[in-house]
């Protein structure tokens, strides 16, 4: 395939041609081979086109975890459309705002959510229809049009509008292109694991967020996607018993629950390959306990919706190097710049700061978004001189490890003050109750016995209510 014809769905169809009988996606209801998965995507893409949607139109996905999320995501791309996944826990008013802001022409929802969102058909001008999965309307999409091959596309075609919290508190749509998501996937192969058809990706977090993003590198290499309806310790243990080379995304709350679950301590973990985690702070002591239980199978990531999953990372080997003199310090960091990604720390005049000095974290790579949908002012503020300004405060060590370091009163806090500390994921310091003043951010520190905070996470722009990782 020529580079100018880049389309994520076309890459998936290539995988299906090579291994049509291999398992692609399964949940408690469906179990599709790659051949069947590609056939359904082709039919759905034709149904979307027959519905009147044209390349570039936006389709909103408000869905609980299910296999249909992945097929409609790739059907959008096969038809040249842009997907707008949103968290299934959003309030109807928030979904309405995103639907109107994105100009979504269609909303696909799981049945219970479709019923709750039905009033949006009347209140959102651009949204003529809401279609529920497992309904006659969804069946009509599958059967109502001619099956189609993926449209020819450009690397800069818009693939995913990732709605994140902005400085006004209103979610903004980070425009992610096919190039962004392919680069993200290649970084997975370079930094986390090389994948093939023997691998399984277990989805216990919401597919609208990190779990769904990291379905892509697995699907593009022929791995099996096993979708759980929600985080459940027993279901995860059962999946580890049944499937080979299992990897999963976990928010730190999920990882901590796994660590403290008695059933995990006695479970057979031979089939566990990697847990990649991020999305909030985690105590280093809990991380040490996780390492004692899971061994060198942990990968910490730091990214934002504007640079999905891909700014810095702490690889499995670095987690396990307990004899290194700065091991605990490294566990409390966000790791090093990902392959092909530039990261630096700058002052208020965008001048790069030396190691040890605190400033704003900025990044540049092919993973960085095109900009914010319909918001040139916010785009100009976030993307300056080719660099994404994250709004996160941090400093580099001499050895290139980034640590996020909120400092009260620092001028860069102006970029974060719209978010309460508990919503800033790993970039925020732990919140402490303060009598009469609610909660305030406290500067991170290493406590006795290693009770420091591991700072790896999605960044601040990614921490609105619409984009929180699942909190079990």
Q: Is the pLDDT of residue 453 over 50?
A: no
**Domain coordinates of the chain in residue numbers?**
3-154, 186-467
Question: pLDDT tens, 344-384?
Answer: 999 999 999 999 999 999 999 999 999 999 999 999 999 99
Q: What is the average per-residue pLDDT within 418-440? A: 28
Q: What are phi and psi of 51, to 5 degrees?
A: -75, -5
Q: What is the average per-residue pLDDT within 265-277? A: 97
Give how far the C-alpha of residue 81 lies from the chain's centroid of Cα atoms, to the nearest Å. 20
Q: What is the average per-residue pLDDT within 86-92? A: 94
Task: Grade residue 280 by pLDDT with cuts at 50, 70 and 90.
Answer: confident
Whether the domain at 3-154 and the domain at 186-467 fall into the same CATH topology: yes
Q: What are phi and psi of 287, to 5 degrees?
A: -65, -40
pLDDT of residue 468: 31
pLDDT of residue 443: 31
Output 468 or 123, whichever has higher pLDDT: 123
pLDDT of residue 408: 58
Give how far the C-alpha of residue 129 lies from the chain's centroid of Cα atoms, to the nearest Å. 27
Correct CATH for 3-154 of 3.40.50.300, 3.40.50.980, 3.40.50.10490, 3.40.50.10420 = 3.40.50.980
pLDDT of residue 170: 82
Q: Is the pLDDT of residue 277 over 80?
A: yes
Q: What is the average per-residue pLDDT within 406-435? A: 35
Q: Is the pLDDT of residue 57 over 80?
A: yes
Give how far the C-alpha of residue 177 lies from the chain's centroid of Cα atoms, to the nearest Å. 14
Q: Is the pLDDT of residue 311 over 80?
A: yes
Output 275 or 3, whichever has higher pLDDT: 275
CATH superfamily of 186-467: ANL, N-terminal domain (3.40.50.12780)
Considering the chain, what percentage of its residues have pLDDT values greater than 90?
A: 79
Report how far apart, in Å, the C-alpha atoms of 472 and of each of 205, 464, 468 are: 9, 17, 12
Output 283 or 459, whichever has higher pLDDT: 283
Cβ-contact 314, 327 below 8 angstroms: no
pLDDT of residue 168: 52
Residues 6+ positions from 2 with CB-CB distance below 8 Å: none
């Amino acid at each position: 395939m020529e580079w100018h014809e880049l389309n994520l769905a076309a890459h998936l169809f290539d995988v299906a041609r090579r291994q049509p009988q291999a398992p692609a996606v399964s949940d408690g209801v469906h179990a599709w081979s790659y051949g069947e998965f590609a056939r359904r995507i082709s039919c759905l893409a034709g149904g979307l086109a027959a519905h009147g949607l044209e390349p570039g139109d936006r389709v909103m996905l408000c869905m609980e975890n299910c296999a249909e999320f992945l097929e409609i995501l790739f059907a959008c791309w096969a038809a040249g459309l842009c997907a707008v996944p949103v968290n299934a826990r959003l309030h109807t008013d928030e979904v309405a705002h995103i639907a109107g802001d994105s100009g979504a022409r269609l909303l696909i929802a799981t049945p219970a959510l479709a019923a709750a969102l039905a009033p949006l058909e009347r209140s959102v001008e651009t949204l003529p229809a809401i279609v529920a999965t497992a309904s006659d309307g969804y069946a009509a999409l599958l059967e109502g049009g001619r099956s189609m091959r993926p449209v020819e596309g450009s690397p800069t075609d818009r693939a995913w509008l990732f709605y994140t919290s902005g400085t006004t508190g209103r979610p903004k749509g980070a425009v992610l292109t096919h190039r962004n998501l392919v680069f993200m996937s290649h970084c997975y192969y370079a930094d986390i694991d090389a994948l093939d058809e023997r691998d399984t990706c277990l989805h216990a977090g919401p597919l609208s967020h990190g779990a769904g993003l990291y379905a892509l590198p697995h699907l593009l290499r022929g791995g099996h996607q096993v979708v759980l309806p929600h985080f459940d310790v027993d279901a995860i243990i059962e999946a580890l018993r049944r499937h080979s080379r299992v990897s999963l995304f976990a928010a730190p709350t999920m990882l901590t629950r796994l660590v403290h679950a008695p059933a995990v301590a006695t479970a057979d973990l031979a089939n566990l390959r990697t847990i990649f985690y991020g999305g909030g702070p985690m105590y280093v002591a809990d991380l040490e306990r996780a390492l004692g239980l899971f061994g060198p199978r942990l990968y910490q990531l730091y990214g934002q919706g504007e640079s999905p999953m891909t700014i810095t990372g702490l690889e499995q080997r670095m987690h396990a190097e307990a004899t290194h003199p700065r091991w605990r310090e490294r566990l409390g960091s966000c790791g090093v710049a990902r392959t092909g990604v530039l990261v630096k720390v700058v002052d208020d005049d965008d001048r790069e700061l030396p190691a040890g000095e605190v400033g704003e974290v900025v990044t540049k790579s092919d993973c960085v978004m095109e900009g914010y949908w319909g918001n040139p002012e916010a785009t100009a503020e976030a993307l300056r001189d080719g660099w994404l300004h994250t709004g996160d405060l941090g400093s580099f060590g001499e050895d290139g490890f980034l640590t996020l370091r909120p400092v009260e009163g620092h001028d860069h806090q102006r970029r974060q003050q719209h978010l309460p500390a508990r919503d800033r994921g790993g970039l925020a310091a732990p919140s402490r109750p303060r009598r009469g003043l609610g909660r305030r951010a406290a500067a991170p520190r290493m406590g006795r016995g290693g009770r420091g905070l591991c700072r790896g996470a999605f960044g601040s722009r990614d921490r609105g209510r619409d984009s929180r990782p699942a909190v079990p």
